[in-house]
Amino acid sequence: MADSISSGLAIRARGLTKDFGHVVAVNNLDLDVPRSRIYGFLGPNGSGKSTSIRMLCGLLTPTHGAIRVLGLEIPRQAEQLRRKVGYMTQKFSLFEDLTVTENLNFIANIYTLTRAEQKIRIPEAMERYELGRLTRQRAGTLSGGQKQRLALAAATLHQPELLFLDEPTSAVDPENRRAFWESLFDLVGEGTTILVSTHYMDEAERCHALAILDLGVLVAAGSPDQLSAGIDAAVIVVQSREPRKVSRFLDHQAIVHSTAQIGNILRVMVDRDVPDAAEFLKKAVSEAGLPVDHCEKVHPSLEDVFVAATQARKAARDKKE
Q: Is residue 87 part of a domain?
A: yes
Quick one: 201 and 313 in the same domain?
Answer: no
**What is the domain extent for residue 106?**
9-222
In this structure, the number of other CB atoms found within 10 A of the CB of residue 263 comes to: 7
pLDDT of 312 = 62
Read off φ and ψ for residue 197, nearest 5 degrees.
Answer: -100, 145
Mean pLDDT by 10 residues, the chain (321 residues): 60 96 93 96 88 94 96 94 90 85 95 95 95 94 92 95 90 85 96 93 92 92 92 93 95 92 93 92 95 94 88 56 51
Quick one: 129 and 233 in the same domain?
Answer: no
What's the mean per-residue pLDDT of the chain?
90
pLDDT of 320 = 53
Q: Count the domains in the chain.
A: 2
pLDDT of 26 = 95
| pLDDT tens profile 144-196 | 889 999 999 999 999 999 999 988 887 778 888 899 999 999 999 999 999 99
Q: Is residue 3 part of a domain?
A: no
Q: What is the DSSP string of 114-126?
A: -HHHHHHHHHHHH
Quick one: 138 and 173 in the same domain?
Answer: yes
CA–CA dist 175, 53 (Å, integer)? 26
Question: Over pLDDT 90: what percentage of the chain?
Answer: 76
pLDDT of 313 = 60
Quick one: 89 and 199 in the same domain?
Answer: yes
Quick one: 174 and 285 in the same domain?
Answer: no
Quick one: 125 and 14 in the same domain?
Answer: yes
Contact by Cβ (8 Å): 90, 166? yes
**CATH code for position 266:** 3.30.70.250
What pTM, to 2 d.p., does this model score? 0.88
**CATH code for position 140:** 3.40.50.300
Q: Which of 152, 154, 183, 157 is nearest to 168 (CA)?
A: 152
Quick one: 181 and 59 in the same domain?
Answer: yes
Q: Is residue 29 part of a domain?
A: yes
